[in-house]
Amino acid sequence: MHETRLKRLAAIAAVVGVAVVVWGLIAYSPTVATGGAVVSVVFLSLAARRRWLVLLLTTITGVLMIWGAYGTVTGYFMLNRHRLDAVVVAIAALPPTLRSIEIGQEDELYPGTASPARFDSYRLINGTAVTLYRRQVAPAAWPPILCADDVLHGVHVTRDQYDRLRALLERLSLSGFDRGPGGEIRLTRHVGGRAPWIAEFVHRADGRSPEPECQLEQRRLDPHWVWQLCG
């Protein structure tokens, strides 16, 4: 009786774990999905009669599922297609004078101190190095570093519009975008490590393939989206 009750509770916990996995996939959260997968695998094996066999099979299934969802281009695109479309809509709504941005990253000087100085690196607007911090502005440097607000004003884009677009890109681990010919929009995603390659999700309303420039690999994902690896 006691063992039956424990197995029932383990089965309930496993179902909860599966629900967490589903939520992690919908929200595209690798941490949540992986945590849910671990919970479901452990408790499902505890609820089963052949625990080690079930543990082995569910572990293999869970690893393959997590890898397919978060470690492959197809998985990334399938789970984020609606978010990628939303980014394209947001970019298309901005003035064409904003041709490209590189969202860069924000770091700290003197981390761990009472007042660490924050600074921008690799943040570009239309190919011009910019910063969100006035103290970092250096127009006489090479390359010149200008204030992002001033550059945005020059291309008729508000700071709020820029921040919203940047948040959309960061949510998808994208590093920026670039407008190409024929309404083409390229969403860039840097490959991990020090590799000099860049992955691009290219959207064209007319469905035509991107012009061959630097492609090392190219794959059509649907009638309007192409993934390519450039180097």
**187 touches 77 (CB < 8 A):** no
Q: For residue 193, what are the contacts with CB-CB under 8 A and spacing of at least 6?
A: none
Which phi and psi (to 5°) does residue 201 adopt?
-100, 110
* pLDDT tens digit at each of 231 positions of the chain: 566 777 788 888 888 888 999 999 999 999 999 999 998 888 888 877 777 887 888 889 889 999 999 989 999 999 999 999 999 999 999 999 999 999 987 776 655 566 666 778 889 999 999 998 888 888 888 888 899 999 999 999 999 999 999 999 999 989 999 998 878 999 998 765 555 678 899 999 887 877 666 667 888 999 999 998 876
